């Protein structure tokens, strides 16, 4: 692989492509279901791509010393110079907010909120007992963000969905913290999983996901697809099972699979809501 492609691939990894793409696809899908046109849905996706690129790149830059030697972290591994982090973060934020501004003022406001939450996590909350809060708030914003693209009042089921997503986001934070628990212990970082202990963190994340599933069943309209809800439940079970293993790689996949499960569940409720509104 020549230098150009090696650098390009490293920059892609700096943006945390899997969760970034998942959020972009979820936002575009939910916006489309809500009734947004192709251009608005594409701008919603671009907003998520930009904002989450900012969050991912700034996270790797701030943690570059703690992550020293980790091959999957391009700055810490020496594949990119440290200044690549702030530069990519600034570019991602500029693109994301510019895209949101093309949709609506509420879309822009929610995008700014999401970016602030992510940066606050990177700069401060990641190292505190409140490390779960940005995940919870970030996940809960997505349904309202998607509906803001259609310029209509957000329906009650979508608002309820945002509230139901809060415990799910907190559970994702615990799953993410479990994946890094061994390294956090070595570096002296008091993350949520370190503070709680492995067993307690696992029990708590299971309980939080159960609360989320129960809340989703309560707020879901009667015409919500049972098939989509079943798919979401199976994905969630698979994600939790991965988090219960000892493998760090499996635990990383665990929170990502669980995030996909929540996206499918949100899609099922939004589909049913859009049919009811229509």
Give residue 1's pLDDT.
56
Buried b / exposed e across 232-247, counting CB within 10 Å, b at 16+? bbebbebbbebbbeee
Spell out the per-residue pLDDT of the chain, length 278, in tens.
578 889 999 999 999 999 999 999 999 999 998 899 999 999 999 999 999 999 999 999 999 988 887 788 999 999 999 999 999 999 999 999 999 999 999 999 999 999 999 999 999 998 887 888 999 999 999 989 999 999 878 888 888 888 989 999 999 999 999 998 888 887 777 888 888 999 999 999 999 999 999 998 898 888 999 999 999 999 999 999 999 999 999 999 999 999 999 999 989 988 898 876 64
Expressed in angstroms, the distance from the first to the final Cα of the chain is 51
Spatial separation of the C-alpha atoms in residues 109 and 114, rounded to whole Å: 9
Q: Give pLDDT, residue 129.
A: 79
Going from the N-terminus, what domains does the chain have, and what CATH number goes with each?
A: 1-154 (1.10.357.140), 155-278 (1.20.120)
CA 7-96-108 angle, to 5 degrees, is 170
Cα 215 to Cα 160: distance, rounded to the nearest angstrom? 9
Cα angle at 105 between 104 and 108, to 5 degrees? 90
In a 3-state reduction of DSSP, which class is residue 234?
helix
pLDDT value at residue 276:
64
List, for residues 230-271, the tens digit of each pLDDT value.
999 999 999 999 999 999 999 999 999 999 999 999 899 888
Helix axes 132-148, 156-179, angle to 10 degrees: 140
| pLDDT score of 131 | 87
Judge contact between 134 and 108, C-beta under 8 A: no
Q: What is the dihedral of CA 96, 98, 102, 106, to 10 degrees?
A: 70
What integer pLDDT is reported at residue 188 of this predicted model? 76
Q: What is the pLDDT of residue 277?
A: 60
Q: Note the pTM of the prediction, 2 decimals.
A: 0.90
Residues 34, 176: Cα–Cα separation, whole Å: 30
Do residues 84 and 14 touch, judged by C-beta distance below 8 A?
Answer: yes
Q: What is the pLDDT of residue 193?
A: 87
């Amino acid at each position: 692989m020549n230098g150009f492609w090696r650098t390009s691939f490293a920059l892609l990894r700096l943006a945390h492509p899997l969760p970034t793409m998942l959020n972009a696809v979820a936002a575009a899908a939910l916006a489309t279901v809500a009734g947004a046109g192709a251009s608005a849905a594409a701008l919603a996706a671009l907003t998520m791509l930009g904002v989450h690129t900012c969050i991912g790149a700034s996270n790797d830059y701030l943690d570059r010393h703690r992550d020293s030697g980790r091959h999957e972290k391009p700055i810490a591994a020496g594949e990119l110079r440290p200044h690549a982090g702030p530069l990519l973060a600034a570019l991602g934020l500029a693109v994301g907010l510019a895209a949101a501004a093309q949709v609506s003022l509420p879309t822009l406001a929610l995008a700014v909120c999401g970016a602030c939450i992510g940066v606050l996590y990177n700069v401060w909350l990641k190292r505190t007992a409140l490390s779960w809060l940005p995940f919870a708030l970030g996940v809960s914003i997505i349904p309202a963000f998607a509906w803001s693209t259609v310029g209509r009042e957000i329906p009650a089921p979508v608002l309820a969905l945002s509230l139901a997503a809060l415990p799910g986001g907190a559970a994702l934070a615990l799953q993410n913290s479990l994946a890094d628990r061994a390294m956090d212990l070595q570096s002296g970082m008091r993350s949520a999983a370190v503070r709680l202990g492995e067993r307690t963190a696992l029990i708590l994340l299971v309980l939080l996901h159960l609360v989320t599933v129960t809340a989703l069943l309560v707020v879901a309209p009667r015409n919500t697809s049972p098939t989509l809800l079943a798919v979401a439940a199976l994905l969630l079970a698979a994600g939790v099972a991965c988090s219960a293993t000892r493998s760090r790689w499996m635990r990383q996949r665990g929170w990502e699979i669980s995030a996909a499960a929540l996206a499918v569940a949100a899609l099922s409720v939004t589909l049913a809501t859009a049919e009811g509104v229509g």
